[in-house]
Amino acid sequence: MKNFKLLICIVLAALAFASCSDTETYADMKKKERSAINRYITNQNIKVIKESQFEQQGCTTDTSKNEFVLFESTGVYMQIRSKGTGEKLKDGETADVTCRFNEYNLLEGDSALQLTNIYQYAWCNDKMTVKNTSGTFSGVFSKKFCMMYTSYNSQAVPSGWLVPLAYVNLGRYDSADAELAKVKLIVPHSQGQSAAAQSVYPCMYEITYERCR
């Protein structure tokens, strides 16, 4: 009987250990996320530059070299494809901005398109109301015809989406020489939408920003 009880205890301990071993920790998930970002950077031949170089270049990224600037404090990588015509959002100013975007889940692969209002649902104008408070940007999505709100049930604009607003102009595509601000972003879960934050995965975005009338 004693031996039988001992055997049961050993089996239960082994099962408990196996269960713990199978449980993915937050640290494990962050490691996977980091690997996915590094894989994307390598596969796409991205040249990562520091903020100091970005500033020396007039807050631009050389697209011919496929440069992305890394913001160390947030882990967001940004490539400015076009600064756009118009003006930057001024301190204390609030504006309505329409965004067209593609969202890729990098944990699923470099081309894993997860959400878009460019290739599909073009009638969905994802509009956000953004404010500049002493260089800190905040924003909320409209609930009306908004893919981000509909998909993630949150009006909060991902922090990663707001990073470019300090560097690009908000204008309208209303003349022959007008150009919309366009960026690419690699956004870690901590700066991303609610599903990414919960499941710990990074996204790559292609986004254009257009000031509403």
* pLDDT tens digits along 59-116: 999 999 999 999 999 999 999 999 999 999 999 999 999 999 999 999 999 989 999 9
**Residue 146 neighbours by CB distance under 10 Å:** 19
Q: How far apart are CA 115 and CA 123, in angstroms?
A: 14
Kindly state the tokens that stand for 13: 């301990």
**Residue at 20 is within a domain:** no
**Residue at 3 is within a domain:** no
**Residue at 47 is within a domain:** yes
**Residue at 97 is within a domain:** yes
Can you give the pLDDT at residue 121? 73
Q: How far is CA 117 from the centre of its chain?
A: 16
Can you give the pLDDT at residue 22? 62
User: Strand 67-71 relative to strand 94-105: parallel, antiparallel, unpaired?
Assistant: unpaired
**Residue at 14 is within a domain:** no
The residues with which 104 forms a beta bridge, in sequence order, are 113, 204
Positions in the chain short of pLDDT 70: 1-22
Can you give the pLDDT at residue 177? 87
Count of the separate structural domains present in the chain: 1
**What's the predicted TM-score (pTM) here?**
0.88
**Residue at 12 is within a domain:** no
The residues with which 87 forms a beta bridge, in sequence order, are 170
Query: Which CATH number characterizes residue 191's domain?
Result: 3.10.50.40
Q: Is 181 helix (H, G, I), strand (E, B) or coil?
A: strand
In terms of C-beta density within 10 A (0-12 exposed, 13-18 middle, 19 or more buried), how is residue 202 classed?
buried
Closest CA to 99 of 147, 59, 61, 60: 147
Q: What is the residue range of 50's domain?
A: 26-211
Reported as half-sphere exposure (CB side, CA atoms, 13 A), residue 183 has a value of: 30
**Residue at 176 is within a domain:** yes
* Residue/partner pairs of 2-11 with CB below 8 Å, 24 or more apart: none
**Residue at 30 is within a domain:** yes
Contact 135, 162 (CB under 8 A): no
